[in-house]
Amino acid sequence: MSSTVIPFGPQHPVLPEPLHIKLVMEDENIVDAIPAIGYVHRGLEKLTETKEFTQNVFVVERVCGICSVMHAMAYCQGIEELMNIEISDRAKFLRVIWAELHRMHSHLLWLGLLADAFGFESLFMQVWRDREKVMDIMEETAGARVVISANTIGGTRRDLSKEQMVKINVTIDEIKKDLQQVEAVFLNNYTVKHRLVGRGILSKADAIELCAVGPMARAAGIPMDLRTTGYSAYGQLDFEPVTHPDGDNYARTYVRLYEVYQSIDLIKQAIAKIPEGEHVVPVKGNPPKGEVISRVEQPRGEVLYYLRANGTKNLERLRLRTPTFANIPSLIKMLPGSQLSDVPLLILTIDPCISCTER
């Protein structure tokens, strides 16, 4: 049987990210997939070498807007370790609150895109209506809707008042109630299950071998979540990673949906336990010197920052590995054996962020 090569992307009506994949087809069946990345390369790692280490907080936030708080958190944690800065407990809890708001915002965005891919436009608008509530919170508490610049070296740029925390609690309760009303469509609807169950299977063994991270790994039954290491204030909060044993498109939908509930619970715990005190400490002493690795759990999985400083105001090297880059090998593993009609949803279920991947 002769094979046909079909280019998928970088511009495609059902692909919100500019990922390019050559699909080798036999009839409607995919027998091989060859990725090509680099379409939106921006050179941000090199840019960080030309800026002062304090300015780089704003650069790394623009690696990806949806994960901006986590990028800044990973970078600040690395610099703080190099400079022996101990931030306040209050700042640690504030970082967790804004990080989990970003996780909610990211997962709700993805659930809306999934609904849109099915053609469920009203469901798409319902989910994004709740996402707007999250973005309104971020605008009210930090002054922006996406790239909120809440983190700084030494803590956070802003504090939260008691009135704002009460409003956050009320709003996330509303979001939880709204999401529970549409949960059955994502998890029990016949059409949705027909398109998701048993499609794009990534086994637990393959997930381990290919180093899958985030919801990709947890949907394959691997309880791997960097938040369980206790960085920032996560060590003072109670939670267990959300997992699913099946490793298919449905499992990845389940994990992300229930991680929204988990984020709501973590925010409520953080607000209940947050101590009084300063939200930022003065940064004193010489510029950072040495090398460090800082890791944070983003909505898509583990982001890893490597920082090397030589005691000057400029970093010698900044290197980062984003979760989408780590998950692309798993995507290439899942595509062969699928049908062409499965491709848009299968790619969507890894929650690709090519802006992150190509930096």
DSSP secondary structure string for all residues of 22-33: EEEEETTEEEEE
Q: Which tokens sit at 223?
A: 């309880």
CA 127 to mean position of chain CA atoms = 18
Q: How far apart are CA 164 and CA 280, in angstroms?
A: 19
pLDDT at 342 over 90: no
- Mean residue pLDDT across the chain: 92
pLDDT of the residue at 76: 96
pLDDT at 314 over 80: yes
pLDDT at 19 over 90: no
pLDDT at 14 over 80: no
Ligand-binding site membership of 211 (annotated): no
**Ranges 72-86, 227-241, 304-318, 329-343: which has the least confidence:** 329-343
Would you tell me how many other CB atoms lie within 10 Å of the CB of residue 282?
A: 9
* pLDDT bucket at 15, cuts 50 / 70 / 90: low
* Section 155-179 average pLDDT: 96
Q: How far apart are CA 188 and CA 80, in angstroms?
A: 46
* pLDDT bucket at 16, cuts 50 / 70 / 90: low
Number of domains the chain contains: 1
Residue 292, classed as helix, strand or coil, is: strand
Query: Which class for 259: exposed (0-12), middle (13-18), buried (19 or more C-beta within 10 A)?
Result: buried
* pLDDT bucket at 352, cuts 50 / 70 / 90: confident
Domain membership of residue 268 as a residue range: 4-358
pLDDT of the residue at 358: 78
pLDDT of the residue at 308: 96
Q: How far apart are CA 22 and CA 335, in angstroms?
A: 11
pLDDT at 11 over 80: no
Ligand-binding site membership of 76 (annotated): no
Query: What is the Cα Rg of the chain in Å?
Result: 21
Single-letter amino acid code for the residue at 326: A
According to DSSP, the residues that pair with 292 across neighbouring strands are: 307
* Section 341-348 average pLDDT: 87
Residue-wise pLDDT for 34-52, tens only, equals 888 777 778 888 999 999 9
* Section 53-68 average pLDDT: 91
pLDDT at 118 over 70: yes
Residue 326, classed as helix, strand or coil, is: helix
Ligand-binding site membership of 64 (annotated): yes
- CATH number, domain with residue 266: 1.10.645.10
pLDDT at 350 over 90: no
Check: CB of residue 21 under 8 Å from CB of residue 36: yes
Distances (CA, A) of 82 to 56, 91, 166, 176, 289: 15, 18, 36, 39, 6
* Section 98-107 average pLDDT: 95
Q: How far apart are CA 44 and CA 85, in angstroms?
A: 26
* pLDDT bucket at 123, cuts 50 / 70 / 90: very high
Cis check: omega of the bond before 223, within 30 degrees of 0 = no
**Ranges 113-122, 241-250, 260-269, 302-311: which has the least confidence:** 113-122
Residue 281, classed as helix, strand or coil, is: coil
Residue 180, classed as helix, strand or coil, is: helix
Q: Which tokens sit at 270?
A: 């953080």
Q: Residue written as tokens 């991947």?
A: 357
* pLDDT bucket at 359, cuts 50 / 70 / 90: confident
- The residue with greater pLDDT, 37 or 148, is 148
* pLDDT bucket at 18, cuts 50 / 70 / 90: confident
* pLDDT bucket at 274, cuts 50 / 70 / 90: very high
pLDDT of the residue at 249: 93
pLDDT of the residue at 279: 93
* Section 220-235 average pLDDT: 95
Judging by DSSP bridges, how do beta strands 155-156 and 151-152 pair with one another? antiparallel
* Section 100-124 average pLDDT: 93
Residue-wise pLDDT for 195-220, tens only, equals 899 898 999 999 999 999 999 999 99
* pLDDT bucket at 13, cuts 50 / 70 / 90: low
**Ranges 10-24, 129-143, 313-327: which has the least confidence:** 10-24
Residue 8, classed as helix, strand or coil, is: strand
Q: How far apart are CA 108 and CA 137, in angstroms?
A: 15
pLDDT of the residue at 39: 75
Q: Positive or negative, the Cα torsion across 243, 212, 21, 340?
A: negative
pLDDT at 223 over 70: yes
pLDDT of the residue at 341: 85
pLDDT of the residue at 73: 96
Ligand-binding site membership of 67 (annotated): yes
DSSP assigned state of 6: E
Check: CB of residue 222 under 8 Å from CB of residue 211: no
